[in-house]
């Protein structure tokens, strides 16, 4: 065997949501493993700071909100041929079912479902996904357990998981793989944002192996991007610290 199956050297990888949380940790790890990163996020300054700090050279940034069709188009136009894509841009909002509105539903689906799915469509249509590329989608273990007030968030993530299976089966001929990582509560700015509506610390304390750090999820994503997982596709890897063991 020549190259290490755990190296990303020579690979170009798109990471959405790269300016913070799981996306940021993934950019750091993948760059350190030798990848050239195309980092996408909404906050220009934070994104620039993340990329300035990455190992290696020739990384690229593209600022934009991927729920905006024009931003997706700009990203697709700017993208070189991609050996990997990590769809980690996402948003969570809570609403009990009796208070769900069309607006809540549209917002959560726009970020968590429409954006990654339509970006994938455009990248495939414009032939920006290289043969043997690995696509990794960040979902949430909520897709399985759907606790209180997460009906629409869980639904959007479950919908994404289902669509990823189709992407995988349709593009296996080119050796393209598509998988999900399905994390529990991860210590990210997104989770901090929910502090005023739920006690996230209490929830995380229920997990037998404790709070999950962004780097834990990044490790799973990096494994799914690397040649080491060349036979893994159409699956979802749960990283939940044991949180949902009693209900799945």
* Residue 10 Cα distances to 37, 105, 178, angstroms: 11, 40, 20
Instruction: Answer for the pair 240, 51: CB distance below 8 angstroms, yes or no.
Output: no
Buried (b) or exposed (e) across 52-74, using 16+ Cβ within 10 A?
eebeeeebebbbbebbeeebbee
The DSSP secondary-structure symbol of 96 reads -
Q: In this complex, which beta carbon is closest to other proteins, that of residue 20 or of residue 134?
A: 134
182 membership: H or E segment, kind and range = strand 177-183
CB 219, min distance to other proteins, A: 4
CB 85 to other proteins: min, Å:
16
Q: Which is nearer to other proteins, 94 or 130 (CB)?
A: 130
- In the chain, count H helices and then E strands: 10, 7
Give the number of residues written for the chain: 248
Shortest Å distance, C-beta 67 to other proteins: 29
- Output the smallest distance, CB 42 to other proteins, in A: 24
Collapse the DSSP code of 58 into the 3-class scheme (helix H, G, I; strand E, B; otherwise coil) and give the result: coil
- Using an 8 Å Cβ cutoff, are 44 and 63 in contact? yes
CB of 92 closer than 8 Å to CB of 153: yes
Q: Which is nearer to other proteins, 93 or 236 (CB)?
A: 236
Q: CB 238 → other proteins: shortest distance, Å?
A: 5
With respect to other proteins, which residue has the nearer C-beta, 106 or 170?
170
* Closer Cβ to other proteins, 143 or 240, answer by number: 240
**Minimum distance from residue 53 beta carbon to other proteins (Å):** 6
Cβ–Cβ contacts within 10 Å for residue 44, how many? 12
Please report, as ranges, the residues that interact with other proteins according to CB under 8 A: 4-7, 29, 32-34, 53-56, 165, 168-169, 172-173, 175, 177, 184, 208-210, 212, 216, 219-220, 222-223, 226, 228-235, 237-242, 245-246, 248
Nearer to other proteins, 56 or 147 (CB): 56
């Amino acid at each position: 065997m020549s190259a290490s199956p755990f190296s990303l050297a020579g690979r170009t990888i798109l990471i959405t949501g790269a300016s913070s949380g799981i996306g940021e940790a993934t950019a750091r790890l993948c760059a350190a493993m030798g990848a050239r990163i195309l980092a996408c996020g909404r906050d220009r300054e934070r994104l620039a700071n993340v990329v300035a700090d990455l190992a290696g050279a020739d990384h690229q940034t593209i600022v934009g909100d991927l729920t905006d069709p024009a931003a997706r188009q700009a990203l697709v136009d700017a993208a070189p041929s991609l050996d990997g894509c990590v769809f980690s841009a996402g948003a969570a909002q809570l609403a009990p079912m009796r208070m769900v509105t069309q607006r809540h539903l549209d917002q959560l689906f726009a970020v968590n479902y429409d954006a990654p799915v339509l970006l994938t469509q455009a990248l495939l249509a414009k032939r920006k996904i290289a043969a043997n590329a690995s696509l990794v989608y960040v979902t949430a273990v909520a897709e399985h357990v759907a606790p209180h007030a997460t009906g629409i968030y869980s639904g959007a993530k479950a919908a994404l998981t289902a669509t990823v299976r189709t992407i995988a089966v349709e593009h296996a001929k080119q050796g393209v793989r598509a998988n999900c990582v399905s994390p529990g509560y991860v210590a990210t700015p997104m989770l901090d944002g929910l502090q005023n509506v739920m006690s996230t610390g209490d929830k995380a304390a229920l997990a037998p192996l404790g709070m999950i750090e962004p780097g834990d999820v990044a490790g799973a994503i990096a494994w799914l991007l690397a040649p080491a997982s060349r036979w893994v596709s159409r699956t979802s890897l749960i990283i939940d610290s044991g949180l949902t063991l009693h209900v799945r």
